Amino acid sequence: MAALPAHSTKHIALLRYPFHGHLFYLAQRDNGLTNGTALWLGAQCLSLFLADALRRQAPPGRRLRAIELGSGIGLSALALCSMGWDVLATDLPDVISAVLSSNVARNTSQLPVGSGTVQVRALDWTVPPDQWVWDNATFIGLPEGPEADHPDLVETLRPPFDLIISSDTLYATEIVQPLFRTLHALTTLSAKHGCRSPPVYLAIERRDPLLIDLALADAVRLWDFTAERVPHKKIVKALEKGGANWDKEDWDDVEIWKLTRKTDS
């Protein structure tokens, strides 16, 4: 059984989602309160693309680490985890409590030996990076969170990251600046640990072409990134390998962009 495109399954409260030999059980809510509690096409395409494209080996002494912005119901984070990555899945508290935490707990416990881990923490992009907390078990940045000077000290995933991903998160003008500020800060923090800046993969649905074009232009002009679109044929190949033999019109407006800091490109 292959996964169906997201727009065909919005009415299903618990998805049985096949992914490269694994079966994820993903709760979703399509209640109109937030976009983040339902499955979207961008996450589906990005997960299958990464499964086909990632070949990087871990540095000596540690496993590969990824951070996801706007993890939603958790598909992409779980996909990377099944491939052996340690993933920091982030979203807003409402999304975490509604679907993300339970989906991660339900599925990571069923993955085989050799899989990675997933940690879930809240990150509001409007919180400036100099206020982020890396040692707290529940959040990185919240406008009204506990004082950063007194975190609950735990072992958490933190920079350097080897990969940054986000899907279906460019849909409103007011999101653009906070998102790219967050991406810029995460790549900078990773580079400070002696690593190259990690690549950023953004999956988007081109519902508002002007918004997308202006956002990508800002990424290059204001935030020190190069922006390269992943060729459509590569995504087609990845979807076919993953069994997603969808009709062209089901996902034709989905794009994946690779952002790289100019100093590393």
Q: Where are the domains of the chain?
A: 6-261
The proportion of the chain whose per-residue pLDDT surpasses 90, expressed as a percent, equals 83
What's the rounded mean pLDDT across residues 171-183? 97
* Residue 108 clears pLDDT 90, i.e. is over it: yes
* Residue 202 clears pLDDT 80, i.e. is over it: yes
* Per-residue model confidence (pLDDT) at position 31: 64
* Per-residue model confidence (pLDDT) at position 154: 59
Gap between the Cα atoms of 15 and 9, Å rounded: 8
The residue that leads in pLDDT, 198 or 148, is 198
Tens-digit pLDDT profile for residues 122-139: 999 999 999 999 999 999
Closest CA to 71 of 79, 82, 83, 61: 79
* Residue 151 clears pLDDT 90, i.e. is over it: no
Gap between the Cα atoms of 167 and 210, Å rounded: 18
Gap between the Cα atoms of 23 and 28, Å rounded: 16
Tens-digit pLDDT profile for residues 21-56: 999 999 999 765 667 899 999 999 999 999 999 976
CA distances from 94 to 10, 137, 249 (A): 19, 16, 32
The confidence band for 218, taking pLDDT boundaries of 50, 70 and 90, is very high
Which pair of tokens denotes residue 249? 């019109």
* Per-residue model confidence (pLDDT) at position 147: 52
Place of tokens 């881990």: 117
User: The whole model's pTM is what?
Assistant: 0.94
* Residue 229 clears pLDDT 50, i.e. is over it: yes
Is the dihedral angle over the CA atoms 87, 100, 139, 32 positive or is it negative?
positive
> Does 129 sit behind a cis peptide bond, omega within 30 degrees of 0 on the bond before it?
no
Topology adopted by domain 6-261: Rossmann fold (3.40.50)
Gap between the Cα atoms of 187 and 163, Å rounded: 9
Half-sphere exposure of 62 (CA within 13 A, CB side): 12
* Residue 119 clears pLDDT 60, i.e. is over it: yes
The confidence band for 196, taking pLDDT boundaries of 50, 70 and 90, is confident
